[in-house]
Structure 1
Amino acid sequence: MVEILQKKLPQEMLEERALPGVQPLGGADWLRLDEAYAAQMAHRRSLLATQRADVYWQDAGAHIAAREVLSEALKLLPGLGFEVSDTECRCPDGQVVPFDDDAPLVALGQLVQEDICILQKRGDEHVLTAACLCFPASWRLSEKVGRPLIGIHDTVPEYDAGIARRVQRLFDGVQVGRPMWRYNRLWYDDPDLFQPRSALSPRRIAPGEVEAAYQRAERQCIVRMPESGAVVFSIHSYVVKATQG
C-alpha cells in the first residue's frame, strides 16, 4: 500500500452537483500541480517502468493525436515551473524526462500528475484510443480500451441512457480553447492511487462507507485538440484523510 496524500481538496470540488456536473474551464487550466507532485510522480514513473502494459495503451491510429496532446501540454508546462527544450523537459522535482516520439503519452505520463485518456470519434460515438492511466479508481484499462463512452461506463449504475446521451453531446460539442471539467468523490479504506479492478470483481461499497479512512477525488477535464479534433479526458487524483475532505 502506497500512501500519498494531499492536505485538502480544492474548494471547487466540495460543492454538490447533479450528474454529470460539467462546468466551463479556463483554456489553460487542465493541467495542475499540487503539494503531492513529487511523490505522485515517483509512483507514476515506477509504474511506467515496471508495469507499463497495465498503465499504458495506444491504438495504432491514435499516434498523431497522442503527439498533439504532448505538444499542447508542453506549451503550458513552462507556466507551471517546467523547463522545456526541443528534446527533453526538466520537471519541478528535478527529474529530466526525454521525449519519446514512439510513445508520447508515456513521456507525458512522467511529466504531469494527470492521467491522460484520448477519445476519438468513431461513427456516432467517441472511443478510447489511447491512455496513460497510472491511477485507476477501481477499473482496469485493459477492459476499457477501444470501447465507446457508454461501454466504458457500463459498470456505473448512475450512467443511464439519458446521461449517456448528454455526455456524448458534450464530447461532440466541446470546443477548442474552451474545455470543460467535472469532479467525483469516492470513499476508500486503502489510499493507494493504483487500484485497478476488473469489472468482474467490482469494489463493494458498504452502507457505512462514509466512515472510511480516506476520501479520493478526481478532477476530470475534457479538452478538444485543435488539429486532430481528438478529445482529451484528463484525471487529476487527490487522496485526503476523510476528516480533511
Structure 2
Amino acid sequence: MSEIFQSKLPEEMRIERALPGVQPLDMRDWLRVDDAYAEQMGERIRLMAHKPDAVRATTAGSHAAVCETLDLIIEAVQELAGFQRDGDQMRCPDGRCVDLSGDPLLVMGEIIQEDICILEKPKDGSEHFLSAALLCFPAHWTLSEKIGKPMGRIHKPVEEYDENIRRRVQRLFDGVQVDRPLWRFNRAHAGASLFQPRLEKDYGTTDMTVSRDFLRSERQCLVRLPKTRAVVFSIHTYVIDLRPA
C-alpha cells in the first residue's frame, strides 16, 4: 500500500482541548471530503475486496439501523461538492459511480472517507453495544474482537478506561439527541499505514514504539438516528507526514 497523507489538519483539530473534548456539531458538517479523498477511497475499496471479514461486521437485528445510516449518509453527501445522485447510482468526487442498491455497509465504504460504527442499546440493557461496523482504518483494535460487545468490554484492554470513565461515556451516548450531534478528536503519533489492527492479547506484550514522523488524528462524530435510535459513531482519519520536505 502506498502512503496516503492529508496536507494538513483542519484548523479546529489543531487546538488543544481538555478531555473528553466533546463539542456540538453542525449536521451539515458531519461528513467531509478532503485532499486525500481519492487515495483513501482507493485504499478502502482495496481493503473491502481483499479483507472483507476484517473490515465489515454485523450482528443479528442490526439491519434496520444499518439501512437508516446509509439513508442518512446518502442524504448528507448530496449537500457536498462532487456528489451527484442519479437513481440508484451515486457519482463521487473522484469520478466513480457507486451502486446504492448493494450491501449497505459496503456502499457506505465506497462513498465516504469516514469509517462507521453503529451502536445500539437493548431495551433492558445498561450499555450500548457495537451492532455493526465498516472499519477500514482501525487504530490498534480489531473489529472481530469488538463486534457485539458492550462499550465497557470493547475498551477492556485500555488501562485508563476505568469504571468512572465507562459511566461517563455511557451517559454521553445516552445523551446524544436527534439533530444535535456531537464531535471530538484525538491525536497521536503513529505509522503511516491507515490499516493498523491490533489484537487484545498483544496489548502490553509487543513493542508499541511508533514513528514520530507521522501524526494520526481521528475526527469522531456521534449522531443519533431518529427511527432506530441507534448512535452512529463516525471516524474520519487524518495522517500527516511530519518529515522534512
In structure 1, distance between residues paired with 2:121 and 2:19:
23
Deviation track 1:162-182 (CA, whole Å, cap 9, x = no partner) reads 121111011111001110001
Within-5 A mapping of 1:187-206: 187-188=189-190, 190-202=191-203, 204-206=207-209
Q: Which residue is equivalent to 1:152?
A: 154
User: What is the CA distance between 1:217 and its match in structure 2?
Assistant: 0.5
Q: Which residue is equivalent to 1:90?
A: 91
Q: Which residue is equivalent to 2:41?
A: 41
Q: Which residue is equivalent to 2:133?
A: 131
In structure 1, distance between residues paired with 2:237 and 2:2:
14
Deviation track 1:201-228 (CA, whole Å, cap 9, x = no partner) reads 136444xx6x611010000000000111
Q: Which residue is equivalent to 1:52?
A: 52
Q: Which residue is equivalent to 1:112?
A: 112
Q: Which residue is equivalent to 1:184?
A: 186
Within-5 A mapping of 1:225-240: 225-240=225-240
Structure 2 residues not aligned, in runs of 5+? none
Q: Which residue is equivalent to 1:99?
A: 100
Deviation track 1:144-187 (CA, whole Å, cap 9, x = no partner) reads 00011111112222222212111101111100111000111111
Matched length:
239
- Please identify, of 169-178 and 153-162, the stretch whose mean Cα deviation from structure 2 is larger: 153-162
- Please identify, of 109-118 and 155-164, the stretch whose mean Cα deviation from structure 2 is larger: 155-164
- Please identify, of 78-87 and 135-144, the stretch whose mean Cα deviation from structure 2 is larger: 78-87
Within-5 A mapping of 1:207-226: 212-226=212-226
SS in 2 for 1:237: strand
Q: Is the 8 A contact 1:116 1:232 kept in 2?
A: yes
In structure 2, distance between residues paired with 1:156 and 1:8:
29
Given the alignment, which residue of 155, 167, 170 partners 2:169?
A: 167
The TM-score, its normalising length taken from structure 2, stands at: 0.93
User: What is the CA distance between 1:243 and its match in structure 2?
Assistant: 5.9
Greater RCO, CA 8 A, separation 6+: 1
The TM-score, its normalising length taken from structure 1, stands at: 0.93
Q: Which residue is equivalent to 2:142?
A: 140
Deviation track 1:37-74 (CA, whole Å, cap 9, x = no partner) reads 00000000111111111100111200011000000111
- Please identify, of 158-167 and 107-116, the stretch whose mean Cα deviation from structure 2 is larger: 158-167
Amino acid at match of 2:37: Y
SS in 2 for 1:200: helix
In structure 2, distance between residues paired with 1:30 and 1:105:
18
The CA RMSD over aligned residues, in Å, is: 1.6
In structure 2, distance between residues paired with 1:82 and 1:185:
29
Q: Is the 8 A contact 1:2 1:191 kept in 2?
A: no
User: What is the CA distance between 1:11 and its match in structure 2?
Assistant: 1.5
